[in-house]
Amino acid sequence: MSDPQEDDKAGHKEEVWIVVPTLNEADHILSLLGSIRSEMIGVPFCVCIVDDGSKDGTLNLVQSYVQSERIDNVRIIQRKKTHSGSQRGGAVLAGLRYGLQNSKCGVFVEMDADLSHSPKELKEGVHAIEALGFSVAIASKYLPGSRIVNRPWTRRSLSYVYNWLLRRLISCEVHDHSNGYRFYDRRSIEIICNHRIRYGSPICLVEVLAILLAQDMRIFEFPSTYVGRGEGVSKLRWTDVVKAGVAMFEISARYHLSRFRRKRKIVVAPHI
């Protein structure tokens, strides 16, 4: 992993640390950065791009954007993938750890780079942490008022079954265990970073949530719009599906057999 850009300058106050894992996201990254900037007006923030070896010029676009806009709230971490398949979980964890060590932010966010997660929902998630006092906020695909757009029925079906199982294996109170649009308070990030996370793939989302539930952290869900981006079944690695299935049973076993404290009630945002 290469050295990120310089640490925050003295006196530069940032409240929200936004981690965006990237791998060949040249088509979307500038739109995402511009949208985040527009939506977060009035809120000090930093975007941490964690790149897993993009070959389409993603990082060149980010660097040009930073220079042309003369902004100092973008950090870049470059990694080299050491495993096949998606290593989104490992990339996010790298960004969260760096933010914990090099900022005083009170709110941490993870979101995808392909615009499947709307920046328009950023302030709602931040509000749940800062103003409402929750430890974790999840932009959920499975609440009244949530929408799933442009996602093939194959992927919808897999996601539905996956979450149906997880609600029974880990927590029936959490509606969406798998969406990677999440908000955390600083204490939650400290807990995550003090644990050995076994999975670097997207199943990491389930492992992290199980850890936080076990530590009695307060979790909030709110309706979200999820937009599918090129998620056809042809891009799906069935070996990854099988591995995820095995992993969720392994995580569930650890969750229930490790003398976890009783978790607090999860709160669902009312549908208006």
pLDDT at 199 over 70: yes
Which of the four pLDDT bands, split at 50, 70 and 90, describes residue 257? confident
pLDDT at 263 over 70: no
State the pLDDT at residue 225.
98
Gap between the Cα atoms of 60 and 49, Å rounded: 12
Gap between the Cα atoms of 45 and 102, Å rounded: 13
Domains and CATH numbers, the chain: 16-268 (3.90.550.10)
Cβ(2)–Cβ(78) below 8 Å: yes
Q: Which tokens sit at 15?
A: 């409240």
State the pLDDT at residue 242.
87
Tell me the mean pLDDT in the region 133-139. Answer: 98
Cβ(90)–Cβ(204) below 8 Å: yes
State the pLDDT at residue 192.
95
Cβ(14)–Cβ(44) below 8 Å: yes
Radius of gyration of the chain (CA): 18
State the pLDDT at residue 3.
47
**Residue 139: what are its φ and ψ, rounded to 5°?**
-80, 105
pLDDT at 98 over 70: yes
For 2-24, the pLDDT digits (tens) are 444 444 444 345 699 999 999 99
Question: Model pTM?
Answer: 0.89
Q: What is the mean pLDDT of the chain?
A: 88
For 226-254, the pLDDT digits (tens) are 999 865 443 456 777 888 899 999 999 99
